Amino acid sequence: MTTISKSHLLSRMLAYMVVGFALGWFVGEPFLGLCIVMGGYFVWSFRQLFKLLDWLNDPKAKSKEPPESKGFWGEIFDGIYRLQKQHSRSRQKLAVVIERIQESTAALNDGVVMIDNQSNLEWWNPAAETLMGLKMPDDQGQQITNLLRDPRFADYFEQGGYQKALEIPSPINPDHQLQFNITVYGKGNRLMTVRDVTRLNQLEVMRKDFVANVSHELRTPLTVVSGYLETMLDSLGPDSGLPPVWEKALNRMQEQSLRMQNLVADLLLLSKLESAEAQPDPEGIHVKSMLNSIVEDGRALSGENQHQITLDCSEKVTLSGSSSELRSAFSNLVFNAVRYTPLGGKIHVRWWQDREGGHMMVEDNGVGIDPMHIPRLTERFYRIDKSRSQNTGGTGLGLAIVKHVMLRHGGKLSISSHPGKGSRFVCHFPDKSLELEHSS
């Protein structure tokens, strides 16, 4: 196969011109001979061009052999034919890949929906039809927000971030809860996955109800046991007639009883925070007074450990929120610092404000936390060192309570720590939480 190039064409054209000029020179009309030869060459080239156009315009050209020709026109025909064959093979391979993708997604229990950059439905699998009630081909090309009319979905779809999943009732069965995840790909196209999370939500509700009910049922007997233990300890003395070893046993029993009471109280508080959907009724909370009280409680908890607890807070700071919930969150952070900071350690409590809102920080120079544990610290009962938590009397619920309190107040908790250098916990409040202060 000869490779077509500019030099090849120019050399051939020059050869025809030389032949025409030579023939004309023999008859005494060199330019006439040149014109006749070049004219014939152009006529032949136009005929080949017409053949090419007829072949390309033929609907069956893909399955027909190219026209017979010679020279570089034959090479052009053969080159185009080869490109058509390659394109046909590529399309067949692509069709096989697309078919396999559609078959695999059709087997999924989760719905898969492809949406173009104009928010129109392009394709979906059978699971999406079952979960969302989509119909092929009636809904193809329709705007997704015209079919899912829930305002929460419209807001979620238009936001463009999609960091978190959206859960809303199914448009065809309100008793079912669907979870939507959207991924942006290409030039503004979206891939949406839909999952039925009804069973998971039911299990979560059952878990919450179980914890709340058990905690509530345990509270009364624990109060009775603790009361009797306290009475028995008060009656101990030289004239009680009981062996001295009983005092140690009763003290140990009372410690564990109080620990169980604290655990039940934390479980009840956490259940209340999780079940309350509405935002807490806003109160004007004087932050410094609250932090002063919590720091004093922290010093009392420290006792003989002699922790150096300092507070840095401006005099005129007012925060909007639930006083009881915020006191619980701040107390958990300060008491955790006291429990997990070695003897004589430093604990710094600070409140400050900036353009992003208000911030409450508790920082210590204790043993620190390995970064691998930080993402799970706010999980219920998650403990880095179980033996250490038991010795300090922690319930494993403190940071979970802090996280839920911050979520209910529109804020967030950030944690940073380095082993051997200490830890820093910061509660970030949005600027709207400080509206009461601004108006005062």
What's the pLDDT tens digit per position in 345-377? 899 999 998 888 889 999 998 888 888 888 888
The arithmetic mean of pLDDT across residues 251-264, rounded, is: 82
Confidence band for 72, pLDDT divided at 50, 70 and 90: low
pLDDT of residue 438: 41
What confidence tens digit (pLDDT) does each residue in 13-34 have?
777 677 777 777 777 777 777 7
Using CA atoms in the order 243, 247, 250, 255, what is the torsion angle rounded to 10 degrees?
-160
Taken as a whole, the chain contains a residue count of 440
d(Cα 144, Cα 122) in Å, to the nearest integer? Answer: 10
Closest CA to 137 of 149, 147, 122: 122
Query: Parallel, antiparallel, or unpaired: how do β-strands 121-124 and 111-115 relate?
Result: antiparallel
Residue 414 and residue 122: Cα distance in Å, rounded?
41
Q: What is the pTM of this model?
A: 0.58
Burial group, residue 397, by CB count within 10 angstroms (0-12, 13-18, 19+):
buried
pLDDT per residue over 110-128, tens digit each?
Answer: 888 888 988 899 888 888 8
Given a cut of 90, whether residue 428 has pLDDT beyond it is yes
- What whole-number distance in Å separates Cα of residue 405 and Cα of residue 411? 8
Report in angstroms the alpha-carbon separations of 89 from 76, 82, 101, 212, 320.
20, 11, 18, 64, 67
Nearest partner of 327 among 259, 409, 255, 394, judged by Cα: 409
Q: What is the mean pLDDT of residues 298-306?
A: 85
N-to-C CA span, the chain: 90
More confident residue, 392 or 254: 254
Give the whole-angstrom CA distance, residue 22 versus residue 30: 7
Q: What is the DSSP letter of 277?
A: -
| Chain centroid offset of residue 89 CA | 40
pLDDT band at 395 (very low <50, low <70, confident <90, very high): low
Tokens of 271: 């259940």
Residues of the chain with pLDDT > 90, as a percent, come to: 10
pLDDT score for 16: 67
Q: Where are the alpha helices (DSSP H) in 107-197?
A: 126-132, 144-147, 151-159
- What pLDDT score does 334 carry? 92
- Which residues contact residue 315 at a Cβ distance below 8 angstroms, ignoring those fewer than 6 apart? 288
The strand pair at 177-185 and 308-312 is best described as: unpaired
Q: Are 20 and 35 in contact (CB under 8 A)?
A: yes
Q: Please give the Cα distance from 297 to 288 (Å, whole number).
A: 14
User: CA dihedral defined by 138, 144, 147, 149, rounded to 10 degrees?
Assistant: -170
Q: How confident is the model over 201-230, as pLDDT tens digits?
A: 888 778 777 777 777 777 788 888 888 888
Average pLDDT, the chain: 80
Q: Looking at residues 252-273, what average pLDDT do you find?
A: 81
The pLDDT assigned to 1 comes to 45
Mean pLDDT of 425-438: 74
